[in-house]
Structure 1
Amino acid sequence: MSGGPVLLAGFAVTNQAVAAQLLERGGAVVAADDAPAPDAVARAVALGIDLVAAPGADRWRALVADAEVLVPTPGLPEAHPVMRAAADAGTPVISEFDLAQRWDSRPRLAVTGTNGKTTVVEMVAAMMEASGIAAAVAGNTDVPLVEAVRDPTPATFVVEASSFRLGHSRCFRPEVGAWLNFAPDHLDVHASLERYRQAKASLWHRVDDDSISVVNGGDPVVAAAAPACGRVVTFGLRHGDFRVSGGALWAESEKLIDTAELRRSQPHELANALAATAVAMAGGAHVEGVRDALVAWTGLPHRVALVGERDGVRFYDDSKATTPHAVCAAVRSVGPAVLIAGGRNKGIDLGPMVEVVDAVRSVVAIGEAAPEVRRVFAGRCPVAEASSMADAVRMAADAARPGDAVLLSPGCASFDWYGSYAERGDHFTQQVHELIGGSP
C-alpha cells in the first residue's frame, strides 16, 4: 500500500488487531462502527485513533472517498452501506488475510467449509505439533491471523478460513488449502447462496504449481471447484486419496490407524480426521505424528459432546451446530433422539433437517426460529416449543425413552438468547446437570 488511510469498517477483535499492526508499520488508520462497544472505544483511545460511531450512508461514502482501501470486519453484510460505497467509488476491499500475507512469509495451511472447520484446524495443529513442527491456529478464531504473525515462534499457521474473510481476500494464497464441504449458511451476510459459494471457492483462486489443494471428493460443489493446477489431494469416507477402508484410515497406499483405536469415530468425525490428516501431511507432518494425534483426539466442546446420562437417556451438547447440515450429521451419530433446535436463523432454509426425521422421536423448538422449526417437523413427529433452556431440557427429558439421546443441535445461531454458541452450550450443560444430578 502507498501509505494512504485504511478504513476499518467495524472495530471489534479482528480490526483492532489490524489497526495495531498498521500503526506499528507507520500506516494511517480510520475506524468506524455502527454500534461500537465500550471496549472498542477504549481500544481506539489507547491506539490514538478516532473511532467514528454510527455513521450514516453519507458519512460512510465520505469515509470511503478518503480511504485507500477498505477492511471490513468479518461478518459485515454484503448489503452494508459501506460495501455499496466502496463498489461505487472503486475502492479496493481487502481482508486481514491479505495483510498477514504481505507481512509474513511462513507457510499457511488454510481450512474452509460450512461445517467442521474448527475441529479440523485443531486436529491439524495437533498433528503438526506431534510431528515436531511448531504450529499456531489463527483466523476465524480468538486470534486473527494478523495478530498471530507477530509471534516468531510458529513454523506454520493453521488458518480457519471463513467465507467472511475469504470473500474479501485479493491476494491470500495458502500453501495448502482445504475445502471440507458446502451447505447453505450465512445468508444473513452473503447476498445469495451463490455469493456464499464464490466466497468459499476463492480459497483456490490463486493456486499455483506449488500449491496443494485438499478436496472433499464426495461433495459435488467442492469437487466441481477443484483447481486445475498444483497438486490436488482428495478425501472421502469410501473413495479418495485419504479414505476409510477395511475398518481403517488410509493415507493413499499407507494404512494409518484402525477406526477402533479412535475415540471419536462417527461418520462426520472420520471425515474430519481424513481431512485433517491430508492437510497435515501436505504441510509436512509425518505418519507417526498423525497417528499419535488421532489416538489422543477427544473432540472439542459443544460438538456432540456427551454431558451425562440418566435412566438410559444420554444428553449431548452440540451447540456449535448452526446449520441443518450439521444437525443431520449429529442426529445420525447419536441414534434415536429428542432434538432441541432453534435460535436465530441466519437466513437459511431449515427444511433439510427433515432428512433425519426417522431418527427423531420428538422436537423441542427454542428461540426466535421456534415457529420455523415447528413448521419443518409438523405432522412428522411431535413438536413442542420451550420458552427457556431450562424448559427445553425438562421437556426433552420427559419425551425421551431409554436408549434415546437428548440432543441440543440448534441449526441456528445463538444470538437471540445468548452471546455465543459456547454460552448456549454451557447453559444447556448446566441445566442437564441440575436435572440429572452431578456437576459439570
Structure 2
Amino acid sequence: MGSGQVTSSVPSGPSDFQGKRVTVAGLGVSGVPAAKVLHARGAVVTVVNDGDDARAREQAAELEALGITVRLGDGETLPEGTELIVTAPGWKPDKPLFLAAEKAGVPVWGDVELAWRLRGPDAAPWLAVTGTNGKTTTVQMLASILKAAGLRTAAVGNIGVSLLDAVLGEERYDVLAVELSSYQLHWAPSLRAHSAVVLNLAPDHLDWHGSMEAYARDKGRIYEGNKVACVYNVADKATEDLVREADVEEGCRAVGFTLGTPGPSQLGVVDGILVDRAFVENRHENAQELAEVSDVDPPAPHNIANALAAAALARAFGVPASAVRDGLRAFRPDAHRIAHVADIDGVAYVDDSKATNTHAAEASLASYEPIVWIAGGLAKGATFDELVARSAKRLRGVVLIGADRALIRDALARHAPEVPVVDLDRTDTGAMLQAVTEAKRLAQPGDTVLLAPACASMDMFTNYNQRGDVFAAAVRELGA
C-alpha cells in the first residue's frame, strides 16, 4: 500500500528530513523512537495512534514535551500535508490511513526502512534472516559465530537491539545480524542486504497479509539487491522459488542448506558433521568441515537447519570454519524453545511454548518419539489436519487446552482416532497444572511430554513466555 513508492520529495539520506511533514503511525516500541529521531532531524512530526489508554497518554506527554504533535484515538485519518508515513510494523496494509496515503501518493515506510535510510556512509552491512519459524534462534547463532570470528556485531531488528539504536548509536559494528518479520519487510522497499536467508515458508499471519502469496512475496523482499548470497532451504522449494524471482546484484549466488548430503553450492550434513560445499575452492569436488551435529544445542533437526543457515550467512561474509564451530558451541537457546525442564519417573518434560503455529509445532514434534502432546490456544485462522496427519505415529496421547482446542480435537479424530485425547474445558491459567497431571498419567517411561501448542497464548496467558513458565512450574510441582 504505497510502500514501494518513492517520490522526489521523500528523504533519501540521514540529513534530508528538515521541514518534511512526517506522520508516525503507532506509539510503542518502534513509534516513539522513530518520532524522536525524525524530530531531531528537523521533521515536522505528527504521531497518530488507535488507542487512548493510560500508557498511550504517558507516551504522548513525553513526545509533546519535545514539540511533537500526538493524536490519540484516531489512527485512521491521514493528517493534512503528510509527505511520508513511518509505521509500526504491525499496522495492517488495508487500514484506511494507508489507503488514503496510497490515493494521495504518500509513501509508507516501516522502522526497518527508516533505519536503512539513516545509515551513515560507512555503515555495517546487514546479514538478514526471515522465515516462518526459527528466525530468532538463527540470528542469535549467527551473531555468536560472527563474535567468535572477532567481529563487532549484534543481533538486531525484530530481536534484541532496535535497528534505529544499532544504526544511530555510538557503537560501531563490522556487521549486523538482522531478524526481519514479514510485517517489517512489507514496509521496507529499499532494503538491500549483504546476504539473506528465508528459512522456511508456512501459512502464518494470513489475516494480516491477505493471502499466502502476499505473505511469501513479502518474505521474498529480503533477497532483493543481495550482494553475495541468497540462502534458501533445499527442503522447502518455495524458498528457492523466491531466490529465482529476486533481482540481485551481479555475482550474487544461490546457496542451499540441507539436512542431507550437500551438493555443490550447498551446506549440509555428512556422518554427523556440518559441511560446506558452497564457500570452498572447487566446490564440485571439495567440502569444508564446519562443526559436529553435537555442537548444536539442542541437536533437533530443525535446529540443525537453523545452524546451517547461520553458518551459510557467516561463510558468505568470509568467516572461517573454526569460528562456525566455536560460535555454535558458545550459543545457548532462549527459554521456551525446545527447553528440557525435567525428567520425572523416566519421562522427559520439554517446553516449546514458542511453537505458536503449526509449522513450528511440527518441527518440535519431529524431534521426539513417543510423545504426549500438550496443545491448544488461539489458532489464528490455522488448520491442523496436515500437522496431525504427519505427527500421528509419534503420539502416545494428547492433552488439549485453550479456546480453539476443538479444531485440534477434530483433526485428531480424523487422522489419529486411536490416540487418547484429554480435552480440558477451561481457559484459566490453572489449567496447565491439570494438563501436566493428565500428561503424566498418559505417559510411559521413555516418553516425552511436549508443550508445543501450535497456537498463540493470549487466550490464557500474557504471552508464550508466561505459558512456558507456568508449564515449567507445573512440572516442578509434579516432581516435588
* TM-score between the two structures when normalised by the length of structure 2: 0.85
Could you tell me which amino acid in structure 1 is paired with residue 109 of structure 2? I
Residues 143 and 82 (structure 1), Cα distance of their counterparts in 2 relative to 1, 3 Å cut: farther
What do the CA deviations read for 1:314-372 (whole angstroms, capped 9, x no partner)? 11110111111111111110211111111112222232221101111222222221111
**Contact preservation (8 Å) 1:187, 1:348:** no
**Contact preservation (8 Å) 2:86, 2:111:** yes
Query: What is residue 221 of structure 1 aligned with on the other side?
Result: 238
Q: How does 1:62-211 map to 2 (within 5 A)?
A: 62-63=78-79, 65-104=80-119, 105-153=123-171, 154-207=173-226, 210-211=227-228
Residues 263 and 177 (structure 1), Cα distance of their counterparts in 2 relative to 1, 3 Å cut: closer
| Displacement of 1:85 | 2.5
**Contact preservation (8 Å) 1:110, 1:160:** yes
Q: 2:423 aligns with which of 385, 397, 402?
A: 385
**Contact preservation (8 Å) 2:140, 2:331:** no
Residues 309 and 133 (structure 1), Cα distance of their counterparts in 2 relative to 1, 3 Å cut: same
Runs of 4 or more above 4 Å deviation: none
Could you tell me which amino acid in structure 2 is paired with residue 364 of structure 1? V
Query: What is residue 334 of structure 2 aligned with on the other side?
Result: 300
Could you tell me which amino acid in structure 1 is paired with residue 351 of structure 2? D
| Displacement of 1:17 | 1.8
Query: What is residue 366 of structure 1 aligned with on the other side?
Result: 401
**Alpha-carbon distance between aligned partners in 1 of 2:453 and 2:81, rounded to the nearest angstrom:** 43
Deviates more, 1:306-315 or 1:258-267: 258-267
**Contact preservation (8 Å) 1:78, 1:191:** no
Q: What is the aligned residue count?
A: 431
| Displacement of 1:62 | 3.6
Q: % of aligned pairs identical?
A: 37
**Alpha-carbon distance between aligned partners in 1 of 2:87 and 2:247, rounded to the nearest angstrom:** 31
| Displacement of 1:37 | 5.0
* TM-score between the two structures when normalised by the length of structure 1: 0.93
Question: Over aligned residues, Cα RMSD in angstroms?
Answer: 1.8
Residues 34 and 215 (structure 1), Cα distance of their counterparts in 2 relative to 1, 3 Å cut: same
**Contact preservation (8 Å) 1:414, 1:421:** yes
**Contact preservation (8 Å) 2:112, 2:184:** yes
**Alpha-carbon distance between aligned partners in 2 of 1:288 and 1:403, rounded to the nearest angstrom:** 36
Alignment partner of 2:470: what SS? helix
Alignment partner of 1:333: what SS? coil
Residues 254 and 39 (structure 1), Cα distance of their counterparts in 2 relative to 1, 3 Å cut: same
Query: What is residue 375 of structure 1 aligned with on the other side?
Result: 410
Could you tell me which amino acid in structure 2 is paired with residue 6 of structure 1? V
Structure 2 stretches lacking a partner, 5+ long? 1-10, 12-16, 278-286
Alignment partner of 1:435: what SS? helix
| Displacement of 1:50 | 3.3
1:10 aligns with 2:5: no
Residues 41 and 149 (structure 1), Cα distance of their counterparts in 2 relative to 1, 3 Å cut: farther
| Displacement of 1:194 | 1.2
| Displacement of 1:196 | 0.7
**Contact preservation (8 Å) 2:24, 2:47:** yes
**Alpha-carbon distance between aligned partners in 2 of 1:342 and 1:6, rounded to the nearest angstrom:** 42
1:234 aligns with 2:277: no
**Contact preservation (8 Å) 2:225, 2:247:** no
